[in-house]
Amino acid sequence: MRAALDAVYREHARRVFSTLVRLLGSFELAEEALHDAFLAAAEQWPAHGVPAHPVAWLVSAGRYRTIDRLRRERRFMAWDDTLADPAPGPDALAEARDEIPDDRLRLVFTCCHPSLSEDARIALTLREVCGLGTEAIAAAFVLPTPTLAQRIVRAKAKIAAARIPYEVPGPAELPARLTSVLRVVYLVFNEGHAARDAGLADEAIRLARLLLVLMAPEPPAETRGLLALLLLSDARRAARLDADGALVPLDRQDRRLWNRALIAEGCTLAEAALRQRGFGAYALQAAIAAVHAEAADADATDWAQIVGLYDALWRVEPTPVVALNRAVAVAMRDGPEAGLALLRPLLPQLPAYPAAPAAAAELCRRAGLLDEARRHYRDAVALARQAPERDFLAARLAALCG
């Protein structure tokens, strides 16, 4: 039973939390209710079994235990007088089942309210919607953990003070809020991808699909583009690690393991996004991923088309990371020396980004500049966050030093 309870927690805890935020109107009360709900499950499920609808059961248990506690403490709130008797009946469970699917989307839009700074929106969503630890989010932001924690606390306080509603905004407000929400979903996927957390990556895809439905009948290009990008990236999941858990670079992956259904869906979405007005960085990144996905093997990759797409991406998003990726594509089209000429000036702009020295090391190795390659590999190993990447880079370094 402990294993079953742990599985329900991993899969559904943040969904339960999102609904409890809506029902209780407070992040803090929802966190306490979530704890109470799983405590109740630990007490009752071993005797009665896992309920048919565990999410609805947990929502009801957390909600009504919180109401009981508030009443006992005589901390009445305005909504308290309207609540039913704190014994969840079939109607309450049915309501919870019906309303839970969109609750996390509601919470995303709440956390991405324009009254918050962009960094606060993203940090709060990663913490409250996806359940990432404060330390992991701080690492993503390259910030001290206490600084990031204070940012989250201030964001919560601002939501409470401003009485920001827990809802998906109406048509008039939706476009302005969408950019931040898309970025949050993108970062959630990247965190899951980097940490090999399939559940987190799946949740980002689920949120992207919900956004696409929400924008119907004519979703904006970037909504389609983001989902396309996530699907095309996720399609390679099974090929990224070998049987021993070692990282397999893109050019050496067994493409028979790629998920062709996801690739077909992603390519269709990417093409649709590029046909719309207003497409941007996500649609262009999806188009680049589609070129890789459609190549029969690494040698068949159309690098000239990829360079052209990076040229377009640079005009939309002129960042050092885009320039780095374009430099690698130029190297694949024109040779390592051409890529290094573009890449070397970018290294000081990306001092904490492990992909930068890793790319420089690989191009130097291909160009026969072995001393410089070894130096860059050492830098990349020191910066790598995940063990598979670190082990892969260390192995490349060892091969050059052997």
CATH number at residue 380: 1.25.40.10
Residue 235 has pLDDT above 60, yes or no: yes
pLDDT at 163: 85
Residue 356 has pLDDT above 90, yes or no: yes
Please give the C-alpha separations between residue 80 and each of 23, 71, 86, in angstroms, as whole numbers: 11, 9, 11
pLDDT at 142: 64
pLDDT at 118: 81
Q: What is the number of domains present in the chain?
A: 2
Q: Is the pTM of this model over 0.85?
A: no
Q: Which of 101, 132, 158 is the last residue of a domain?
A: 101
387 vs 176, which has greater pLDDT? 387
pLDDT at 86: 40
Share of the chain above pLDDT 90, in %: 55
Residue 218 has pLDDT above 80, yes or no: yes
Q: Which of 59, 79, 101 is the last residue of a domain?
A: 101
Cis, peptide link before residue 171, omega less than 30° from 0 = no
Mean pLDDT on 280-301: 96
Mean pLDDT on 365-392: 95
pLDDT at 140: 64
Per-residue confidence band for 269, with pLDDT thresholds at 50, 70 and 90:
very high
* Whole-angstrom distance, CA of residue 6 vs CA of residue 123: 25
Residue 172 has pLDDT above 90, yes or no: no
Is 211 within the bounds of a domain? no
- Judged on CB neighbours under 10 Å (0-12, 13-18, 19+), 376 is buried
Is 112 within the bounds of a domain? no
67 vs 345, which has greater pLDDT? 345
pLDDT at 292: 97
88 vs 161, which has greater pLDDT? 161
Is 147 within the bounds of a domain? no
211 vs 225, which has greater pLDDT? 225
What range does the domain containing 97 cover? Answer: 1-101
- 236, 263 in Cβ contact below 8 A? no
pLDDT for 144-166, tens place per residue?
899 999 999 999 999 988 888 88
Is 167 within the bounds of a domain? no
pLDDT for 45-84, tens place per residue?
988 888 988 999 999 999 999 988 888 776 444 544 444 3
pLDDT for 202-215, tens place per residue?
888 988 998 888 77
pLDDT for 94-139, tens place per residue?
444 444 445 877 888 888 888 888 888 888 888 888 787 888 878 7
Residue 260 has pLDDT above 60, yes or no: yes
Tell me the CB-side half-sphere exposure of residue 101, using CA atoms within 13 A. 9
- 105, 17 in Cβ contact below 8 A? no
pLDDT at 150: 92
Residue 93 has pLDDT above 50, yes or no: no
Q: What phi, psi does 130 have (nearest 5°)?
A: -105, -15
Is 357 within the bounds of a domain? yes
Average per-residue pLDDT in the chain? 87
- 211, 185 in Cβ contact below 8 A? yes
Is 310 within the bounds of a domain? yes
pLDDT at 141: 66
Is 216 within the bounds of a domain? no
Is 187 within the bounds of a domain? no
Q: Which of 52, 71, 101 is the last residue of a domain?
A: 101
Please name which of 272, 302, 276, 275 lies closest in space to residue 289, comparing C-alpha atoms.
302
Residue 187 has pLDDT above 90, yes or no: no
